[in-house]
Structure 1
Protein backbone atom coordinates (compact mmCIF):
# COMPACT_ATOMS: atom_id res chain seq x y z
CA UNK A 1 0.00 0.00 0.00
CA UNK A 2 1.09 3.57 -0.71
CA UNK A 3 2.51 5.65 2.12
CA UNK A 4 -0.13 8.34 1.63
CA UNK A 5 -0.06 10.38 4.83
CA UNK A 6 -3.10 12.51 4.01
CA UNK A 7 -6.22 12.79 6.14
CA UNK A 8 -9.36 13.07 4.02
CA UNK A 9 -13.02 13.75 4.81
CA UNK A 10 -15.81 12.75 2.41
CA UNK A 11 -19.45 13.59 3.13
CA UNK A 12 -22.16 11.31 1.79
CA UNK A 13 -19.57 8.56 1.56
CA UNK A 14 -21.78 5.48 1.85
CA UNK A 15 -23.01 5.44 -1.76
CA UNK A 16 -22.57 6.83 -5.27
CA UNK A 17 -19.72 9.20 -6.05
CA UNK A 18 -19.01 9.68 -2.36
CA UNK A 19 -18.41 5.97 -1.86
CA UNK A 20 -16.14 5.72 -4.89
CA UNK A 21 -14.21 8.79 -3.74
CA UNK A 22 -13.72 7.36 -0.25
CA UNK A 23 -12.77 3.97 -1.69
CA UNK A 24 -10.10 5.34 -4.00
CA UNK A 25 -8.63 7.67 -1.38
CA UNK A 26 -8.44 4.71 1.00
CA UNK A 27 -6.83 2.62 -1.72
CA UNK A 28 -4.04 5.19 -1.91
CA UNK A 29 -3.32 4.62 1.78
CA UNK A 30 -4.82 7.85 3.10
CA UNK A 31 -6.78 8.07 6.33
CA UNK A 32 -10.39 8.51 5.24
CA UNK A 33 -13.14 9.84 7.48
CA UNK A 34 -16.58 9.07 6.10
CA UNK A 35 -19.42 11.40 7.11
CA UNK A 36 -22.73 9.61 6.58
CA UNK A 37 -26.31 10.26 7.67
CA UNK A 38 -27.34 6.62 8.08
CA UNK A 39 -25.33 4.70 10.69
CA UNK A 40 -26.04 1.22 9.31
CA UNK A 41 -25.31 2.13 5.69
CA UNK A 42 -22.22 4.06 6.73
CA UNK A 43 -20.88 1.13 8.77
CA UNK A 44 -21.51 -1.31 5.91
CA UNK A 45 -19.74 0.99 3.44
CA UNK A 46 -16.78 1.41 5.79
CA UNK A 47 -16.42 -2.36 6.18
CA UNK A 48 -16.60 -2.83 2.41
CA UNK A 49 -13.89 -0.23 1.80
CA UNK A 50 -11.60 -1.77 4.42
CA UNK A 51 -12.17 -5.25 2.94
CA UNK A 52 -11.39 -4.11 -0.62
CA UNK A 53 -8.39 -1.88 0.14
CA UNK A 54 -6.86 -3.48 3.22
CA UNK A 55 -6.65 0.03 4.69
CA UNK A 56 -7.70 -0.03 8.34
CA UNK A 57 -7.54 3.77 8.59
CA UNK A 58 -11.14 4.29 7.50
CA UNK A 59 -13.37 6.00 10.06
CA UNK A 60 -17.08 6.79 10.27
CA UNK A 61 -18.81 9.81 11.76
CA UNK A 62 -22.60 9.73 11.63
CA UNK A 63 -24.13 13.14 10.91
CA UNK A 64 -27.19 14.68 9.28
CA UNK A 65 -25.80 17.74 7.52
CA UNK A 66 -29.22 19.41 7.59
CA UNK A 67 -28.95 19.61 11.40
CA UNK A 68 -26.43 22.25 12.45
CA UNK A 69 -26.08 20.91 15.99
CA UNK A 70 -25.05 17.56 14.49
CA UNK A 71 -22.56 19.27 12.17
CA UNK A 72 -20.94 21.00 15.17
CA UNK A 73 -20.76 17.68 17.02
CA UNK A 74 -19.27 15.92 13.98
CA UNK A 75 -16.65 18.66 13.61
CA UNK A 76 -15.70 18.22 17.26
CA UNK A 77 -15.39 14.46 16.78
CA UNK A 78 -13.03 15.03 13.88
CA UNK A 79 -10.90 17.67 15.60
CA UNK A 80 -10.60 15.49 18.70
CA UNK A 81 -9.02 12.78 16.53
CA UNK A 82 -7.04 14.71 13.92
CA UNK A 83 -4.82 17.78 14.02
CA UNK A 84 -4.85 18.27 10.26
CA UNK A 85 -7.09 17.81 7.24
CA UNK A 86 -5.59 17.51 3.75
CA UNK A 87 -8.68 16.92 1.61
CA UNK A 88 -12.29 17.86 2.33
CA UNK A 89 -14.87 16.61 -0.18
CA UNK A 90 -18.28 18.18 0.40
CA UNK A 91 -20.22 15.64 -1.63
CA UNK A 92 -23.50 14.89 0.17
CA UNK A 93 -26.66 16.28 -1.37
CA UNK A 94 -30.08 15.52 -2.71
CA UNK A 95 -33.48 16.77 -3.74
CA UNK A 96 -36.81 16.49 -1.91
CA UNK A 97 -40.15 16.56 -3.71
CA UNK A 98 -41.98 18.37 -0.93
CA UNK A 99 -40.71 21.08 1.39
CA UNK A 100 -39.29 19.79 4.66
CA UNK A 101 -37.79 21.51 7.66
CA UNK A 102 -35.04 20.36 9.97
CA UNK A 103 -35.60 20.28 13.73
CA UNK A 104 -33.97 23.72 13.78
CA UNK A 105 -36.50 25.21 11.37
CA UNK A 106 -34.29 25.24 8.27
CA UNK A 107 -35.48 24.10 4.85
CA UNK A 108 -33.83 20.71 4.44
CA UNK A 109 -32.37 21.04 0.92
CA UNK A 110 -30.79 24.43 1.58
CA UNK A 111 -29.49 23.18 4.93
CA UNK A 112 -28.25 19.78 3.79
CA UNK A 113 -26.84 20.70 0.39
CA UNK A 114 -25.27 24.01 1.34
CA UNK A 115 -25.47 25.37 4.89
CA UNK A 116 -24.24 22.20 6.61
CA UNK A 117 -21.20 22.08 4.33
CA UNK A 118 -20.61 25.81 4.85
CA UNK A 119 -20.56 25.25 8.61
CA UNK A 120 -18.49 22.06 8.46
CA UNK A 121 -15.83 23.66 6.27
CA UNK A 122 -15.47 26.77 8.37
CA UNK A 123 -15.30 24.72 11.58
CA UNK A 124 -12.45 22.67 10.11
CA UNK A 125 -10.41 25.61 8.81
CA UNK A 126 -7.74 25.27 11.51
CA UNK A 127 -7.21 21.62 10.55
CA UNK A 128 -7.05 22.58 6.86
CA UNK A 129 -4.49 25.27 7.65
CA UNK A 130 -2.43 22.73 9.60
CA UNK A 131 -2.02 20.61 6.46
CA UNK A 132 0.89 21.50 4.20
CA UNK A 133 -1.30 21.86 1.09
CA UNK A 134 -5.01 21.34 1.71
CA UNK A 135 -7.78 21.01 -0.86
CA UNK A 136 -11.52 21.66 -0.49
CA UNK A 137 -13.79 20.22 -3.19
CA UNK A 138 -17.47 21.16 -3.34
CA UNK A 139 -19.65 18.84 -5.42
CA UNK A 140 -22.17 21.12 -7.12
CA UNK A 141 -24.36 20.80 -10.20
CA UNK A 142 -25.28 22.30 -13.55
CA UNK A 143 -28.62 22.94 -11.85
CA UNK A 144 -27.13 26.16 -10.50
CA UNK A 145 -27.57 27.71 -13.95
CA UNK A 146 -30.79 29.67 -14.25
CA UNK A 147 -31.04 29.85 -10.46
CA UNK A 148 -30.80 32.83 -8.15
CA UNK A 149 -30.41 33.41 -4.45
CA UNK A 150 -33.81 34.56 -3.21
CA UNK A 151 -32.81 36.35 -0.02
CA UNK A 152 -36.48 37.14 0.64
CA UNK A 153 -37.33 33.42 0.64
CA UNK A 154 -34.19 31.37 1.28
CA UNK A 155 -36.25 28.82 3.18
CA UNK A 156 -38.58 28.16 0.25
CA UNK A 157 -41.80 28.95 2.09
CA UNK A 158 -43.33 30.67 -0.93
CA UNK A 159 -42.31 28.18 -3.62
CA UNK A 160 -43.73 24.78 -4.40
CA UNK A 161 -41.00 23.92 -6.91
CA UNK A 162 -38.39 21.54 -5.44
CA UNK A 163 -35.97 22.00 -8.34
CA UNK A 164 -35.95 25.74 -7.68
CA UNK A 165 -34.76 25.04 -4.15
CA UNK A 166 -32.25 22.48 -5.36
CA UNK A 167 -30.80 24.88 -7.93
CA UNK A 168 -30.57 27.65 -5.33
CA UNK A 169 -28.70 25.38 -2.92
CA UNK A 170 -26.20 24.42 -5.61
CA UNK A 171 -25.71 28.04 -6.65
CA UNK A 172 -25.10 28.87 -2.99
CA UNK A 173 -22.42 26.18 -2.93
CA UNK A 174 -20.61 27.78 -5.87
CA UNK A 175 -20.87 31.27 -4.39
CA UNK A 176 -19.40 29.84 -1.18
CA UNK A 177 -16.60 28.22 -3.19
CA UNK A 178 -15.60 31.50 -4.82
CA UNK A 179 -15.83 33.54 -1.61
CA UNK A 180 -13.88 31.02 0.48
CA UNK A 181 -11.21 30.71 -2.22
CA UNK A 182 -10.77 34.48 -2.12
CA UNK A 183 -10.61 34.58 1.68
CA UNK A 184 -8.04 31.77 1.74
CA UNK A 185 -5.88 33.01 -1.13
CA UNK A 186 -2.16 32.55 -0.32
CA UNK A 187 -3.05 30.29 2.63
CA UNK A 188 -1.99 27.04 0.93
CA UNK A 189 -5.63 25.89 0.81
CA UNK A 190 -7.33 25.54 -2.57
CA UNK A 191 -11.12 25.61 -2.92
CA UNK A 192 -12.86 24.39 -6.07
CA UNK A 193 -16.32 23.24 -7.14
CA UNK A 194 -17.27 20.65 -9.72
CA UNK A 195 -20.18 19.00 -11.52
CA UNK A 196 -19.96 15.18 -11.51
CA UNK A 197 -22.33 14.63 -14.42
CA UNK A 198 -25.68 12.85 -14.44
CA UNK A 199 -24.75 10.08 -12.02
CA UNK A 200 -27.06 7.07 -11.67
CA UNK A 201 -27.19 6.98 -7.88
CA UNK A 202 -29.67 7.72 -5.09
CA UNK A 203 -30.74 11.14 -6.37
CA UNK A 204 -34.39 10.04 -6.63
CA UNK A 205 -34.56 8.94 -2.98
CA UNK A 206 -36.14 12.20 -1.82
CA UNK A 207 -38.99 11.88 -4.30
CA UNK A 208 -42.05 9.65 -4.55
CA UNK A 209 -44.81 8.55 -6.89
CA UNK A 210 -44.67 9.55 -10.55
CA UNK A 211 -41.73 11.91 -10.00
CA UNK A 212 -39.66 9.10 -8.48
CA UNK A 213 -40.48 6.78 -11.39
CA UNK A 214 -39.64 9.42 -14.02
CA UNK A 215 -36.37 10.42 -12.37
CA UNK A 216 -35.42 6.79 -11.92
CA UNK A 217 -36.11 6.04 -15.58
CA UNK A 218 -34.12 9.07 -16.73
CA UNK A 219 -31.07 8.15 -14.66
CA UNK A 220 -31.32 4.50 -15.68
CA UNK A 221 -31.29 5.51 -19.32
CA UNK A 222 -28.87 8.42 -19.35
CA UNK A 223 -26.97 8.33 -16.06
CA UNK A 224 -23.25 7.70 -15.85
CA UNK A 225 -21.62 5.39 -13.33
CA UNK A 226 -20.50 6.63 -9.90
CA UNK A 227 -16.95 5.79 -10.98
CA UNK A 228 -17.18 8.27 -13.85
CA UNK A 229 -18.89 10.80 -11.61
CA UNK A 230 -16.07 10.59 -9.08
CA UNK A 231 -13.32 11.02 -11.67
CA UNK A 232 -13.14 14.81 -11.49
CA UNK A 233 -13.42 14.77 -7.68
CA UNK A 234 -10.40 12.47 -7.51
CA UNK A 235 -8.56 14.59 -10.05
CA UNK A 236 -9.07 17.66 -7.87
CA UNK A 237 -8.08 15.71 -4.75
CA UNK A 238 -4.97 14.04 -6.15
CA UNK A 239 -3.53 15.64 -9.26
CA UNK A 240 -0.43 17.84 -9.05
CA UNK A 241 -1.81 19.67 -12.10
CA UNK A 242 -4.37 21.47 -9.91
CA UNK A 243 -2.27 21.85 -6.76
CA UNK A 244 -2.28 25.64 -7.10
CA UNK A 245 -5.65 26.10 -8.81
CA UNK A 246 -8.35 27.71 -6.67
CA UNK A 247 -11.72 29.38 -7.08
CA UNK A 248 -12.71 27.39 -10.18
CA UNK A 249 -15.59 25.14 -11.27
CA UNK A 250 -14.70 21.91 -13.09
CA UNK A 251 -16.55 19.62 -15.48
CA UNK A 252 -14.75 16.56 -16.85
CA UNK A 253 -11.47 17.73 -15.29
CA UNK A 254 -11.63 21.10 -17.03
CA UNK A 255 -12.41 24.51 -15.51
CA UNK A 256 -15.53 26.00 -17.08
CA UNK A 257 -17.57 29.16 -16.58
CA UNK A 258 -20.52 29.22 -14.21
CA UNK A 259 -23.63 31.39 -14.34
CA UNK A 260 -23.45 35.18 -14.37
CA UNK A 261 -25.01 35.35 -10.91
CA UNK A 262 -22.28 33.14 -9.45
CA UNK A 263 -19.69 35.85 -10.15
CA UNK A 264 -21.60 38.62 -8.33
CA UNK A 265 -19.29 39.66 -5.47
CA UNK A 266 -22.08 41.44 -3.60
CA UNK A 267 -24.32 38.37 -3.69
CA UNK A 268 -21.61 36.02 -2.45
CA UNK A 269 -20.65 38.33 0.43
CA UNK A 270 -24.26 38.85 1.39
CA UNK A 271 -24.85 35.09 1.29
CA UNK A 272 -21.93 34.54 3.68
CA UNK A 273 -23.32 37.14 6.10
CA UNK A 274 -26.85 35.73 5.90
CA UNK A 275 -25.49 32.19 6.41
CA UNK A 276 -23.81 33.33 9.62
CA UNK A 277 -27.09 34.92 10.72
CA UNK A 278 -28.98 31.68 10.08
CA UNK A 279 -26.38 29.70 11.99
CA UNK A 280 -26.76 32.06 14.93
CA UNK A 281 -30.39 30.94 15.18
CA UNK A 282 -29.25 27.32 15.59
CA UNK A 283 -26.92 27.84 18.54
CA UNK A 284 -23.82 29.59 17.23
CA UNK A 285 -21.98 30.99 14.24
CA UNK A 286 -19.01 29.66 12.33
CA UNK A 287 -16.57 31.54 14.53
Structure 2
Protein backbone atom coordinates (compact mmCIF):
# COMPACT_ATOMS: atom_id res chain seq x y z
CA UNK A 1 0.00 0.00 0.00
CA UNK A 2 2.82 2.39 0.87
CA UNK A 3 4.51 1.77 -2.49
CA UNK A 4 1.26 2.37 -4.37
CA UNK A 5 0.80 5.61 -2.44
CA UNK A 6 4.31 6.83 -3.28
CA UNK A 7 3.82 5.89 -6.93
CA UNK A 8 0.56 7.85 -7.07
CA UNK A 9 2.14 10.93 -5.50
CA UNK A 10 4.99 10.73 -8.01
CA UNK A 11 2.60 10.51 -10.96
CA UNK A 12 0.66 13.56 -9.76
CA UNK A 13 3.90 15.51 -9.30
CA UNK A 14 5.14 14.42 -12.73
CA UNK A 15 1.84 15.42 -14.34
CA UNK A 16 1.98 18.84 -12.68
CA UNK A 17 5.54 19.35 -13.88
CA UNK A 18 4.55 18.39 -17.42
CA UNK A 19 1.74 20.95 -17.43
CA UNK A 20 3.94 23.79 -16.23
CA UNK A 21 4.57 26.65 -18.59
CA UNK A 22 4.32 30.39 -18.82
CA UNK A 23 0.53 30.62 -18.91
CA UNK A 24 0.42 32.86 -15.81
CA UNK A 25 3.34 35.10 -16.74
CA UNK A 26 2.38 38.67 -15.92
CA UNK A 27 -0.46 37.54 -13.62
CA UNK A 28 -0.73 38.20 -9.88
CA UNK A 29 -2.38 35.75 -7.48
CA UNK A 30 -3.16 35.98 -3.78
CA UNK A 31 -3.47 32.72 -1.84
CA UNK A 32 -4.62 32.90 1.78
CA UNK A 33 -3.14 30.33 4.14
CA UNK A 34 -0.36 29.57 1.66
CA UNK A 35 2.26 28.60 4.23
CA UNK A 36 1.17 24.96 4.43
CA UNK A 37 -1.01 22.23 2.98
CA UNK A 38 -3.05 22.84 -0.15
CA UNK A 39 -2.24 26.55 -0.06
CA UNK A 40 1.51 25.98 -0.28
CA UNK A 41 1.07 23.28 -2.94
CA UNK A 42 -1.05 25.68 -5.00
CA UNK A 43 1.50 28.47 -4.58
CA UNK A 44 4.19 26.14 -5.94
CA UNK A 45 2.11 25.21 -8.97
CA UNK A 46 1.28 28.84 -9.79
CA UNK A 47 4.91 29.86 -9.33
CA UNK A 48 5.96 27.14 -11.79
CA UNK A 49 3.66 28.86 -14.27
CA UNK A 50 5.52 32.16 -13.72
CA UNK A 51 2.84 33.96 -11.69
CA UNK A 52 3.52 36.59 -9.07
CA UNK A 53 2.23 34.79 -5.99
CA UNK A 54 1.40 36.64 -2.78
CA UNK A 55 1.35 34.27 0.18
CA UNK A 56 -1.11 35.81 2.63
CA UNK A 57 -0.32 34.18 5.98
CA UNK A 58 -0.61 34.92 9.67
CA UNK A 59 2.93 33.79 10.53
CA UNK A 60 5.82 35.62 8.88
CA UNK A 61 8.19 32.82 9.88
CA UNK A 62 6.04 30.12 8.29
CA UNK A 63 5.21 32.23 5.25
CA UNK A 64 8.86 32.94 4.45
CA UNK A 65 9.79 29.31 5.16
CA UNK A 66 7.15 28.25 2.61
CA UNK A 67 8.70 30.59 0.04
CA UNK A 68 12.14 29.09 0.68
CA UNK A 69 10.70 25.61 0.32
CA UNK A 70 8.89 26.46 -2.94
CA UNK A 71 12.10 27.90 -4.38
CA UNK A 72 13.73 24.49 -3.94
CA UNK A 73 11.38 23.15 -6.61
CA UNK A 74 11.15 26.03 -9.09
CA UNK A 75 13.09 29.10 -10.08
CA UNK A 76 9.98 30.55 -11.70
CA UNK A 77 7.49 32.98 -10.25
CA UNK A 78 7.78 35.97 -7.99
CA UNK A 79 6.96 34.92 -4.42
CA UNK A 80 5.99 37.50 -1.81
CA UNK A 81 4.94 37.13 1.83
CA UNK A 82 2.35 39.51 3.27
CA UNK A 83 0.83 39.36 6.73
CA UNK A 84 -2.86 38.47 6.97
CA UNK A 85 -4.73 37.24 10.04
CA UNK A 86 -8.33 36.35 9.19
CA UNK A 87 -9.18 36.30 12.90
CA UNK A 88 -8.80 40.08 12.87
CA UNK A 89 -10.89 42.38 10.70
CA UNK A 90 -8.31 45.09 11.37
CA UNK A 91 -5.60 42.84 9.91
CA UNK A 92 -7.78 42.17 6.86
CA UNK A 93 -8.21 45.91 6.28
CA UNK A 94 -4.48 46.57 6.67
CA UNK A 95 -3.64 43.76 4.24
CA UNK A 96 -6.09 45.06 1.64
CA UNK A 97 -4.82 48.62 2.00
CA UNK A 98 -1.29 47.34 1.36
CA UNK A 99 -2.39 45.38 -1.72
CA UNK A 100 -4.41 48.25 -3.19
CA UNK A 101 -1.58 50.72 -2.61
CA UNK A 102 1.28 48.55 -3.88
CA UNK A 103 -0.13 46.06 -6.38
CA UNK A 104 -1.16 47.43 -9.78
CA UNK A 105 -3.24 44.34 -10.57
CA UNK A 106 -4.85 41.25 -9.07
CA UNK A 107 -5.86 38.47 -11.43
CA UNK A 108 -6.57 35.55 -9.08
CA UNK A 109 -7.79 35.54 -5.48
CA UNK A 110 -7.82 32.12 -3.83
CA UNK A 111 -9.68 32.06 -0.52
CA UNK A 112 -8.00 28.96 0.84
CA UNK A 113 -7.22 29.60 4.52
CA UNK A 114 -9.48 27.85 7.02
CA UNK A 115 -9.65 26.38 10.49
CA UNK A 116 -11.50 23.18 11.26
CA UNK A 117 -13.29 22.70 14.58
CA UNK A 118 -10.99 25.12 16.40
CA UNK A 119 -11.76 25.10 20.15
CA UNK A 120 -14.23 27.83 21.03
CA UNK A 121 -12.66 31.28 21.11
CA UNK A 122 -14.14 34.71 20.50
CA UNK A 123 -11.95 36.92 18.33
CA UNK A 124 -11.12 40.55 19.09
CA UNK A 125 -14.15 41.42 16.94
CA UNK A 126 -16.42 39.27 19.16
CA UNK A 127 -16.91 36.64 16.44
CA UNK A 128 -16.60 32.88 16.98
CA UNK A 129 -13.21 31.91 15.53
CA UNK A 130 -14.35 29.34 12.95
CA UNK A 131 -16.89 31.82 11.61
CA UNK A 132 -14.29 34.60 11.55
CA UNK A 133 -11.57 32.72 9.67
CA UNK A 134 -13.82 30.75 7.33
CA UNK A 135 -16.46 33.36 6.50
CA UNK A 136 -16.31 36.90 7.88
CA UNK A 137 -12.58 37.41 7.21
CA UNK A 138 -12.86 36.20 3.58
CA UNK A 139 -16.06 38.22 3.13
CA UNK A 140 -14.33 41.47 4.07
CA UNK A 141 -11.12 40.57 2.23
CA UNK A 142 -12.86 39.74 -1.05
CA UNK A 143 -15.10 42.79 -1.01
CA UNK A 144 -12.24 45.18 -0.26
CA UNK A 145 -10.25 43.75 -3.19
CA UNK A 146 -13.15 43.71 -5.66
CA UNK A 147 -12.34 46.99 -7.38
CA UNK A 148 -8.77 45.85 -8.04
CA UNK A 149 -10.07 42.52 -9.38
CA UNK A 150 -12.49 44.39 -11.66
CA UNK A 151 -9.74 46.70 -12.87
CA UNK A 152 -7.61 43.63 -13.67
CA UNK A 153 -10.40 41.69 -15.40
CA UNK A 154 -10.82 39.14 -16.74
CA UNK A 155 -10.02 37.87 -13.27
CA UNK A 156 -11.27 35.14 -10.97
CA UNK A 157 -12.05 34.41 -7.33
CA UNK A 158 -11.74 30.83 -6.09
CA UNK A 159 -13.32 29.62 -2.86
CA UNK A 160 -11.80 26.45 -1.42
CA UNK A 161 -14.87 24.98 0.20
CA UNK A 162 -15.74 21.60 1.72
CA UNK A 163 -18.39 19.01 0.94
CA UNK A 164 -19.09 19.07 4.69
CA UNK A 165 -20.97 22.35 4.22
CA UNK A 166 -23.93 20.09 3.37
CA UNK A 167 -24.11 19.20 7.08
CA UNK A 168 -24.09 22.80 8.28
CA UNK A 169 -26.65 25.32 9.46
CA UNK A 170 -26.37 29.08 9.75
CA UNK A 171 -27.82 30.62 12.90
CA UNK A 172 -28.14 34.31 12.10
CA UNK A 173 -28.52 35.18 15.77
CA UNK A 174 -25.42 33.32 16.89
CA UNK A 175 -22.15 34.29 15.26
CA UNK A 176 -20.50 35.04 18.60
CA UNK A 177 -21.03 31.83 20.53
CA UNK A 178 -20.13 28.17 20.10
CA UNK A 179 -21.45 26.77 16.82
CA UNK A 180 -23.21 23.40 16.66
CA UNK A 181 -20.88 22.16 13.92
CA UNK A 182 -18.18 24.84 13.73
CA UNK A 183 -16.53 23.77 10.49
CA UNK A 184 -19.65 22.74 8.56
CA UNK A 185 -21.61 25.81 9.73
CA UNK A 186 -18.87 28.27 8.78
CA UNK A 187 -18.27 26.58 5.43
CA UNK A 188 -21.97 26.76 4.63
CA UNK A 189 -21.87 30.50 5.37
CA UNK A 190 -18.88 30.77 3.04
CA UNK A 191 -20.82 28.94 0.30
CA UNK A 192 -23.79 31.30 0.68
CA UNK A 193 -21.36 34.19 0.26
CA UNK A 194 -19.76 32.65 -2.83
CA UNK A 195 -23.13 32.12 -4.49
CA UNK A 196 -24.39 35.64 -3.76
CA UNK A 197 -21.07 37.13 -4.90
CA UNK A 198 -21.27 35.25 -8.21
CA UNK A 199 -24.78 36.58 -8.72
CA UNK A 200 -23.69 40.17 -8.06
CA UNK A 201 -20.71 39.85 -10.41
CA UNK A 202 -22.43 37.99 -13.24
CA UNK A 203 -22.36 41.01 -15.56
CA UNK A 204 -18.67 41.68 -14.92
CA UNK A 205 -15.54 39.87 -16.03
CA UNK A 206 -14.78 38.67 -12.52
CA UNK A 207 -15.62 34.96 -12.33
CA UNK A 208 -16.39 33.15 -9.08
CA UNK A 209 -15.58 29.45 -8.70
CA UNK A 210 -16.16 27.20 -5.67
CA UNK A 211 -14.37 23.87 -5.23
CA UNK A 212 -14.32 21.15 -2.60
CA UNK A 213 -10.96 19.32 -2.67
CA UNK A 214 -12.21 16.35 -0.64
CA UNK A 215 -10.37 14.91 2.33
CA UNK A 216 -6.66 15.68 2.02
CA UNK A 217 -3.67 14.89 4.23
CA UNK A 218 -2.97 18.35 5.66
CA UNK A 219 -2.82 20.07 9.05
CA UNK A 220 -6.41 21.29 8.74
CA UNK A 221 -7.84 18.51 10.92
CA UNK A 222 -5.36 19.03 13.77
CA UNK A 223 -8.08 20.27 16.14
CA UNK A 224 -10.34 17.32 15.32
CA UNK A 225 -8.03 14.62 16.67
CA UNK A 226 -6.49 14.47 20.18
CA UNK A 227 -2.78 15.26 19.90
CA UNK A 228 -1.90 12.06 21.76
CA UNK A 229 -3.36 10.01 18.91
CA UNK A 230 -1.40 11.68 16.12
CA UNK A 231 1.26 8.97 16.09
CA UNK A 232 -1.49 6.54 15.08
CA UNK A 233 -3.59 8.81 12.90
CA UNK A 234 -0.84 10.46 10.83
CA UNK A 235 0.47 7.26 9.18
CA UNK A 236 -3.10 6.26 8.35
CA UNK A 237 -3.77 9.67 6.82
CA UNK A 238 -0.60 9.38 4.74
CA UNK A 239 -1.63 6.00 3.35
CA UNK A 240 -5.33 6.66 2.77
CA UNK A 241 -5.69 10.36 1.92
CA UNK A 242 -4.46 12.35 -1.09
CA UNK A 243 -1.41 14.52 -0.52
CA UNK A 244 -1.57 18.31 -0.55
CA UNK A 245 -0.07 18.24 -4.05
CA UNK A 246 -2.86 15.96 -5.24
CA UNK A 247 -5.46 18.00 -3.41
CA UNK A 248 -4.32 21.21 -5.08
CA UNK A 249 -4.79 20.00 -8.65
CA UNK A 250 -8.44 21.06 -8.99
CA UNK A 251 -7.66 24.50 -7.58
CA UNK A 252 -4.77 24.92 -10.01
CA UNK A 253 -7.09 23.90 -12.85
CA UNK A 254 -9.60 26.61 -11.88
CA UNK A 255 -6.79 29.16 -11.57
CA UNK A 256 -5.29 28.42 -14.99
CA UNK A 257 -7.95 26.92 -17.28
CA UNK A 258 -9.84 28.84 -19.94
CA UNK A 259 -13.34 28.51 -18.49
CA UNK A 260 -14.95 30.96 -20.87
CA UNK A 261 -17.82 32.78 -19.21
CA UNK A 262 -18.37 30.12 -16.54
CA UNK A 263 -19.05 31.59 -13.12
CA UNK A 264 -20.98 30.67 -9.99
CA UNK A 265 -20.35 26.95 -10.43
CA UNK A 266 -19.33 24.20 -8.01
CA UNK A 267 -16.45 21.83 -8.69
CA UNK A 268 -15.17 18.56 -7.27
CA UNK A 269 -11.68 17.61 -6.22
CA UNK A 270 -10.18 17.33 -9.72
CA UNK A 271 -11.90 20.43 -11.03
CA UNK A 272 -14.87 18.67 -12.63
CA UNK A 273 -18.19 20.50 -12.38
CA UNK A 274 -20.74 19.13 -9.90
CA UNK A 275 -24.32 20.01 -9.05
CA UNK A 276 -24.71 22.49 -6.22
CA UNK A 277 -26.08 20.76 -3.10
CA UNK A 278 -29.72 21.64 -2.43
CA UNK A 279 -28.85 23.23 0.93
CA UNK A 280 -27.21 26.17 -0.84
CA UNK A 281 -30.08 26.95 -3.23
CA UNK A 282 -32.09 29.54 -1.26
CA UNK A 283 -31.28 32.92 -2.82
CA UNK A 284 -33.04 34.79 -0.01
CA UNK A 285 -30.60 33.27 2.49
CA UNK A 286 -27.64 34.36 0.35
CA UNK A 287 -28.88 37.94 0.43
CA UNK A 288 -29.69 37.85 4.15
CA UNK A 289 -26.23 36.58 5.06
CA UNK A 290 -24.63 39.21 2.83
CA UNK A 291 -26.53 41.99 4.60
CA UNK A 292 -25.67 40.61 8.05
CA UNK A 293 -22.01 40.17 7.05
CA UNK A 294 -21.84 43.77 5.82
CA UNK A 295 -22.95 44.98 9.23
CA UNK A 296 -20.72 42.69 11.29
CA UNK A 297 -17.60 43.54 9.25
CA UNK A 298 -18.51 47.23 8.88
CA UNK A 299 -17.78 46.74 5.19
CA UNK A 300 -18.94 50.16 4.12
CA UNK A 301 -17.18 52.12 6.87
CA UNK A 302 -14.21 54.26 5.93
TM-score, normalisation: structure 2: 0.86
2:51/2:77 contact within 8 Å kept: no
User: Secondary structure at the residue paired with 1:137?
Assistant: strand
Kindly provide the CA deviation profile for residues 238-273 of structure 1, in whole angstroms up to 9, marking residues without a partner as x.
Answer: 011x23210011002222123322110110000000
- 1:183 alignment partner, one of 200, 212, 223: 200
What is residue 290 of structure 2 aligned with on the other side? 272
Alignment of 1:235-274 (within 5 A): 235-240=253-258, 242-251=259-268, 252-274=270-292
Change (3 A) 1:211 1:188: farther
Are residues 1:197 and 2:219 paired? no
Kindly provide the CA deviation profile for residues 58-77 of structure 1, in whole angstroms up to 9, marking residues without a partner as x.
Answer: 11111111111001101111
Instruction: Report the Cα distance in structure 1 between the residues aligned to 2:218 and 2:120, rounded to whole angstroms.
Output: 22
User: Secondary structure at the residue paired with 1:42?
Assistant: helix
Give the number of equivalent residue pairs.
Answer: 279
Instruction: Report the Cα distance in structure 2 between the residues aligned to 1:189 and 1:167, rounded to whole angstroms.
Output: 27
Uncovered stretches (5+) of structure 1, i.e. residues with no partner: none
Instruction: Report the Cα distance in structure 2 between the residues aligned to 1:117 and 1:259, rounded to whole angstroms.
Output: 21
2:118/2:130 contact within 8 Å kept: no
- 1:232 alignment partner, one of 222, 243, 250: 250
Does 95-104 or 208-217 show the bigger shift?
Answer: 208-217
- 2:237 alignment partner, one of 219, 224, 227: 219
Kindly provide the CA deviation profile for residues 87-127 of structure 1, in whole angstroms up to 9, marking residues without a partner as x.
Answer: 01000112134211112211111000111111111110111
- 2:75 alignment partner, one of 43, 50, 54: 54
Are residues 1:115 and 2:136 paired? yes
